[in-house]
Chains A and B, each alone.
Chain A
Amino acid sequence: MSEQLNFEVPTMAEMIAKGEEPEILFWVGCAGSYDERAQKTTRDICKILHHVGIKYAVLGTEESCTGDPAKRAGNEFLFQMQAMTNIEVLNGYNIKKIVTGCPHCFNTIKNEYPGLGGSYDVIHHTQLIQDLINDGKLKAEGGESFKGKKITYHDPCYLGRGNDVYEAPRKALEVLDAQLVEMKRCKSNGLCCGAGGAQMFKEPEKGNKDINIERIEEALDTQPQVIAASCPFCMTMLSDGVKMKDQDKNVQVLDIAEITARANGL
């Protein structure tokens, strides 16, 4: 389970140069590209893709921000500039199917790009994992055992309420034979981690508590060993919360992709 990838991650440019086409494009996202914690998830998504033998590629340096934070912050100009530039790249490579490592990228490309000329079949990485499990290509064997471990899953707003994806991440956890415990506020009633709507990039307004603390208290109420996330922003907020509560020795915050990779010994 080395951090290092023991295989090359193919870029679209390389693939096209070889005259090949990928089955799916992996849209990494800014957090997944630059944030140290999220990079681990990114590598694990690649490990899963590599493991099951799906022909995939990333855009690499040709990828740019989807424009999501600009749009949520109200800068429609910047959003559409980003969107149209990205669409030009994606259409140029004749991309049909995209998997994203981030619910914000997922939502933006899936819902907001079609109106600007970019229509693709877009899935989030938890949906890819669910599909692979359903097809029998991915099991939970050969790696770390999560059997009987108490895991609680935090729904990211842009995957859950934003796009009604509640089952895919839970499916990925069910195969672990772990003990899934739901927080009091879950699924469509899930509480935001506090990072959405461009909050990730600013200090919160004056209040009596930070949103991620409110959320982490609820998560810790379930006495979990693992808090599962599926969004790099949630990952940051939840990890910070666990640290603030001095629970980082007892509780791990892991992305669904990381859990899946670990369970399969990737």
Chain B
Amino acid sequence: MVLQILFIAITLAAIALFSFNLKKVIRNIRIGKAADRTDQPQKRFMTMVKVALGQTKMFFRPIPAFLHLIVYAGFIIINIEVLEIMIDGIFGTHRIFGGLGPIYNFLIGSFEILALGVWLGCAVFLIRRNVIKLKRFSGVEMTSWPRSDANYILITEILLMTAFLIMNAADAKLQAMGASHYTLAGSFPVSQHLANLLPNSEGALMAIERGCWWFHIIGILAFLNYLPYSKHFHILFAFPNTYFSNLEPKGEFTNMQSVTNEVKAMLDPSFSPPEAEPGKFGAKDVNDLSWVNLMNAYTCTECGRCTSVCPANITGKLLSPRKIMMDTRDRLEEVGKNIDKTGNGFDDGKSLIDSYISREEIWACTSCNACTDACPINIDPLAIITELRRYAVMEESQAPASINAMLGNIENNGAPWKYSPADRLNWAKES
């Protein structure tokens, strides 16, 4: 009874803490400006199913895609087991679904095979990161925390799967010994091979079985609460992120309505612009970005596919689309903490541009959309870069001199170069 109460208390505390942190994250995302992404719900839903659930964009790189699929499927499906653990934990039962007989045996058998798959997949991932040291996992933004974060996630998953398999091995051994409370249930295609490693005394086996059971469930609850601090948040955010992703052609940049009103008023004096809230053009800080940009930042799992295809990054420039996303999240977290401490209006003198993302980075972008195409969950670093450029150009008039010259040419003679508009048709006349 004490254990049941303890179990319920731990579970409720974990869920409460997670809800508290999730609410904070959602509050942070809402710092962003409005953006309408509610059109075409059917197409949005299908995009989510294909891209997030079906992981279609992962398969551009088949090896990690295959391993990722196993870890993903394993992790999700094995969590059906968590349902049983929950019921057992609350009611003090043992393997409550055991009565399902052959179905139960099939389920537990499949979970075991998947668990082994997850174990091996995570092991290969660790080797790719720490032994082979794939280039994609390095870069200026991959400082010690992001690297550790990735390793913590993989090691935790390995530990959880290990606990699950040892628990089953001990359980099976206890079942065979006819220990009371351990009814015959389940099939153990993987863990049966671990039986010989375990002691033979009933007391020790029960300690191991209970120990692993508690470790498994507390591990999962702890992992859940780790998510808001980690890049691993993508396991949840991949779904809303793909649902609300950009459905327009990638080449299309948004037209700024605030500018449209002003330009219309300039071209047509009789036009009276609708009342609009005064705001700045483009983004200086995270609160100038849209909530979609900010959700993108929380969704990024720092895989680096964007950076590995970025022409600027490939040729040694400072720009890394992954860094854009990581900086946005870090800055947003900082702004969130400022709000926690001192309320809304607090100015810490920092901003996303300059304090986090440098001018050199934003001006190195060719807007080629390789990053947005490469992202397996439709994150859009280019949208953030564009907003930062808009701020630099329209609010500060701070663009590279050659860009200013180009803009001046368009303004004065309708072409980015210094040619006379009167000569525009000369190509048809001379050779």
Instruction: Spell out A's residues near B (CB within 8 Å).
Output: 2-5, 8-9, 11, 28, 30, 32-35, 39, 42-43, 46, 58, 60-61, 63-65, 67, 69-78, 80-82, 84-85, 107, 110-112, 115-116, 157-158, 161-164, 185, 188-189, 191-192, 194-211, 213-215
Contacts and interface: CB of A to CB of B under 8 A. Distances in A.
Contacts of A194: 311, 366
B379 interface: no
Interface string B274-293: 00000001100000000000
Contacts of A3: 431
Contacts of A65: 410, 414-416
Interface in B395-431: 399-400, 402-403, 405-407, 410-411, 414-417, 419, 421-428, 431
27 contacts: A2-B431, A5-B428, A8-B428, A28-B427, A58-B425, A60-B424, A70-B410, A72-B367, A74-B282, A74-B393, A76-B255, A110-B249, A111-B252, A112-B253, A158-B251, A161-B370, A163-B251, A164-B249, A196-B366, A197-B366, A197-B368, A198-B367, A205-B317, A206-B360, A208-B316, A211-B312, A214-B314
Contacts of B370: 157, 161, 189, 191-192
Nearest to B260: A80
A194 B252 CA distance: 19
B158 to A, nearest CB: 33
Contact of A74 (B364, B373, B394, B427): B394
Contacts of A110: 249
Contact of A73 (B264, B373, B403): B403
Contacts of B389: 73-74
A72 B364 CA distance: 12
B425 A207 contact: no
B231 interface: no
A163 B368 CA distance: 11
A19 to B, nearest CB: 22
Contacts of A71: 253
Contacts, number: 221
Nearest to B385: A197
A157 B364 contact: no
A94 to B, nearest CB: 20
B255 A74 contact: no
Contacts of B192: none
Interface string B209-241: 000000000000000000000000000000000
B342 interface: no
B416 A157 contact: no
A112 B363 CA distance: 22
Given A80-B259, A163-B250, 8 more contacts: A69-B406, A74-B282, A74-B389, A164-B249, A191-B370, A195-B366, A205-B319, A211-B312
Given A74-B399, A162-B251, A192 B311 contact: yes
Interface of B: 60, 248-253, 255-256, 259-260, 262-264, 266-267, 281-282, 309, 311-312, 314-319, 360, 363-370, 373, 386, 388-394, 399-400, 402-403, 405-407, 410-411, 414-417, 419, 421-428, 431
A209 B260 CA distance: 39
B418 to A, nearest CB: 9
B406 A84 contact: no
A164 B267 CA distance: 34
A205 B312 contact: yes
Contacts of A39: 427
A28 B365 CA distance: 26
Contacts of B416: 30, 65, 69, 200-201
A65 B409 CA distance: 10
Given A33-B425, A75-B394, A157-B368, A202 B400 contact: yes
A74 B390 contact: yes
B402 to A, nearest CB: 4
A70 B255 CA distance: 12
Nearest to B388: A74
Given A112-B252, A209-B315, A199 B399 contact: no
A162 B250 contact: yes
Those 3 A-B pairs whose CB atoms lie nearest each other, nearest first:
A162-B251, A197-B367, A74-B389
A31 B271 CA distance: 34
Contacts of B426: 33
B427 A43 contact: yes
Contact of A33 (B248, B255, B311, B424): B424
B368 A196 contact: yes
A99 to B, nearest CB: 16
Contact of A61 (B253, B264, B309, B421): B421
Contact of B373 (A115, A188, A214): A188
Contacts of A81: 263, 266-267, 411
A73 B407 contact: yes
Contact of A207 (B264, B317, B407): B317
A142 B427 CA distance: 25
Contacts of A33: 415, 419, 423-427
A101 to B, nearest CB: 11
Nearest to A161: B369
A187 B421 CA distance: 36
Given A157-B366, A196-B367, A75 B249 contact: no
